[in-house]
Amino acid sequence: MSLARPTRTRKDPKPRKGGRKKTATAKKAPRKATSTGHRTDLLEAMLRIRRFEERCVELYSATKIRGFVHLYIGEEAVAVGVNEALTPEDAVVATYREHGHALARGITAEAVMAEMYGRTTGCSGGRGGSMHLFDATRRFYGGNAIVAGGLPLAAGLALADRMRGQDHVTCCFFGDGAFAEGEFHETANLAALWKLPLLLVCENNLYAMGTALERHEAQTDLAMRAASYGMVAWAVDGMDVEAVEQAARRAAEAIRAGAGPHFLELRTYRFRAHSMYDPDRYRDKAEVERWKHRDPIIRLLDRMREDGDPVDETLAGIERRVAAEVDHAVEAAERAPEEPVEHLLHHVTSAPAEVD
């Protein structure tokens, strides 16, 4: 497991007068001690996402859930590794492919599945569906159906925390396709200019919907492009959950110390098509199979076996717990009520003003 060397601009901007002193984030932060228990937690978190998403495929095929559904299968190490570096007080802004982000953040499978069904017990009251999971109690400020749409929101959250003097980090997930949108560049510029406590996490899965990275970006080294805005940026193996956690923890610690925004390019891959509607004809099947050999779950299991961890017993127990959790989520969603038609305008229009 290794991290690429951070990409930095030639000259760091001087700290603002009266601001917090900038720390030397280029130095390698102490790595969190790896234990069997912690690796087991990482494994369970990734398997929860994988099994949840696999059940969503079945439910979609059975027309139990409808609309656009974007699966996170293959990218589990990103959500799990990054969330390990965050605290409950930090904020998270996600993309439309956010089931994994929500589950890794601690939103229950039951609340997410109910939202997929459009039921009132869903985390967004059944009004958001697959692309708009939301839970303010966990500072999870939603998926966003607009490419790069969450970036300005994340900058605002980070600015609000800084203005209140709160030592929090705002983490924003987005895909490589966001680099083609103005919101990324506007957000990166202001975040660096104002030294916002913002962690920008690019899930570079090599495709913006059906368009390969090299077909929409002249410069494909995304970390280098982010560094041009004056922030620390580096690329990480997004298929290695421990590498992701190490990088995210290092970045979050530097941000809390006042070093300003950091950027992580997590190089990953989705094993499924862009969405359930996508025939996936733009990728070579051999390419997909090559990436499957780097499955983040299998890689962690192999590492645990190499280190002599009791993998088989551990895995069997996790699979039983996760299966029961997902089964319960589906059963609860099936029983949950739909919102009555009379509530159609709730949260849409205000109550009519009373006139004396």
pLDDT per residue as tens digits for the range 139-184: 999 899 999 999 999 999 999 999 999 999 999 999 999 999 999 9
pLDDT at 108: 98
pLDDT at 310: 86
pLDDT at 316: 94
pLDDT at 19: 40
pLDDT at 353: 66
pLDDT at 1: 36
pLDDT at 347: 84
pTM (2 d.p.):
0.87
pLDDT at 202: 98
pLDDT at 354: 67
CA angle 110, 113, 115 (to 5 degrees): 110
- Which residues of the chain have a pLDDT value below 70? 1-34, 353-356
